[in-house]
Amino acid sequence: MSRSSTFKEAFLLTIPVMMGYLVLGVAFGLLLQNGGYHWLWATLASLVVYAGSMQFVLVGLLTQQAPLLTVAVTTLLVNSRHLFYGLSFIERFKAMGKRGLYMIFSLTDETYALLCSVDEKASDTLILIIALLNQAYWVIGSTLGALVGSYITVSLEGIEFAMTALFTTILVEQLLEKKNRIPALIGFICAAGALFWLGPDKFLLPALGVTVLLLLLLRPNLEVKG
Amino acid sequence: MNLVHSLLIIGVTALSTLITRSTPFLLFGRGEKRVGGTILYIGKILPPAIMATLLVYALKEISFGELSGWLFDLGAIAVTALIHLKWRNALISIAVGTILYMVLVQGLFW
């Protein structure tokens, strides 16, 4: 496949993320700018941190000038779900050399979701462009938000649902394959149970931990032979 | 605000984020050896479980106290899923679901 058709394929795949990241990025940039920071700070944070929900927490940490230990512990907790994403791409990213390092750095929820949805045989270039485009949307959104966010008058409330919808379509695709149904059910039950029990701020890491444990225990029943 | 401390906060956030994302590679991806059977199994079986978890994560703020606290979210997800089952075109499913959700939460119907 030629470069331009690979780019086009990557672009089409990332359109839902574009909608979500541009709007959430604008919200982040606007928030940081309202906290008294020049727009360059929004661009910088989105370039070097690049973690959606964590950057909203970051605004609070910056405006309060939080101690660095607090910053480290908070970030590790908020982003702990990312501990699990790399497990599916260890050989894949390793084989990509230096480009694999960027893949590791840029493995957000949405990029992870898209990479789970593309064919296993998809080219390295395709998945790299997906990762790069997604970060570009986020950086552009953040910068625009900090620069001109306060001039936006049309209501985009609810557009962030594009991300939820993206997860929905990928899950539906996965559920069409029988072998994915029990793992998805286990993930759902653990997440919903933990959310009910521990509340929205603390449920994610325990839920993922128990999910992995159950998947390991059920390995004799779940493993697809061959 | 203090310039140096602000830069340090962003640096520490970036580094901590990178630690969470690179841990699996540091633990299991070093050296020439390929990953073992258990990690390979988990890596293959985890994506559908995580996708279901992410969907719950996206819904973590819903409440069942009043109708508008859950109906819009669950309704738009159901519509997205049904349209996707019918046409299997992610862009169409996501566009319809998102527009429906925006119309619902912005109260354009009422």
| pTM score | 0.89
Q: Is B73 on the interface with A (CB under 8 A)?
A: yes
- Residue A225: pLDDT band (50, 70, 90) is low
pLDDT tens by residue, B7-37: 999 999 999 999 999 999 999 988 777 777 8
The residue in chain A having the minimum alpha-carbon distance to the alpha carbon of residue B39 is: A87
B59 vs A contacts (CB less than 8 Å): 164
Same structural domain for residues B24 and B65? no
Whether B35 is covered by a domain: the verdict is: yes
CA distance to A65, B81, B94, B108, per residue, from B99 (Å): 39, 14, 8, 11
pLDDT of A226: 44
pLDDT tens by residue, A182-207: 999 999 999 999 999 999 988 999 99
pLDDT of A107: 97
Top residue of A110, A160, A168 to mutate, by most chain B CBs within 10 Å, is A168
Same structural domain for residues B39 and B69? no
Closest of B9, B12, B3, B15 to residue A37, by C-alpha: B3
Helix (H) and strand (E) counts in chain A: 12, 0
Whether B8 is covered by a domain: the verdict is: yes
Same structural domain for residues B64 and B108? yes
Top residue of A14, A63, A79, A87 to mutate, by most chain B CBs within 10 Å, is A87
Contact A80, A204 (CB under 8 A): yes
Contact B21, A82 (CB under 8 A): yes
pLDDT tens by residue, A115-144: 999 998 999 999 999 999 999 999 999 999
Residue A169 in this model has a pLDDT that exceeds 80 = yes
Q: Is B84 on the interface with A (CB under 8 A)?
A: yes
Whether B73 is covered by a domain: the verdict is: yes
pLDDT tens by residue, A8-46: 999 999 999 999 999 899 989 998 998 999 999 999 999
Q: What is the dihedral of CA B34, B38, B41, B47, to 10 degrees?
A: -100
- Residue A72: pLDDT band (50, 70, 90) is very high
Percent of chain A having pLDDT more than 70? 99
Whether B103 is covered by a domain: the verdict is: yes
In angstroms, the separation between the Cα of residue A153 and the nearest Cα of chain B is 14
Mean per-residue pLDDT, B41-60: 94
Whether B53 is covered by a domain: the verdict is: no
Domain that holds residue B9: 1-46
Whether B38 is covered by a domain: the verdict is: yes
Cβ–Cβ pairs < 8 A, chains A and B: 259
Q: Do A161 and B90 touch (CB under 8 A)?
A: no
- Residue B110: pLDDT band (50, 70, 90) is low
Whether B51 is covered by a domain: the verdict is: no
pLDDT of B32: 75
CA distance to A47, A170, A185, B79, per residue, from B51 (Å): 26, 7, 10, 18
CA distance to A3, A113, A129, A137, A166, per residue, from A132 (Å): 15, 15, 5, 9, 18
How far apart are alpha carbons A132 and A98 in whole angstroms?
14
Same structural domain for residues B76 and B29? no
How far apart are alpha carbons B99 and A158 in whole angstroms?
8
- Residue A1: pLDDT band (50, 70, 90) is low
Mean per-residue pLDDT, A163-184: 95
Q: Is B8 on the interface with A (CB under 8 A)?
A: yes
Question: Which helix (H) or strand (E) segment is A116 a member of?
Answer: helix A109-117
Same structural domain for residues B108 and B67? yes
Residue among A75, A166, A184 whose CB faces B52 most closely: A184
pLDDT of B97: 96
Closest of B46, B71, B47, B73 to residue B60, by C-alpha: B73
Same structural domain for residues B105 and B78? yes
Q: Is B63 on the interface with A (CB under 8 A)?
A: no
Q: Give the count of domains, chain B.
A: 2
Percent of chain A having pLDDT more than 90? 82
Mean per-residue pLDDT, A80-88: 94
- Mean pLDDT, chain A, rounded, equals 93
Residue A96 in this model has a pLDDT that exceeds 80 = yes
Same structural domain for residues B39 and B74? no
Whether B4 is covered by a domain: the verdict is: yes
Same structural domain for residues B68 and B98? yes
- Residue A61: pLDDT band (50, 70, 90) is very high
A213 vs B contacts (CB less than 8 Å): none
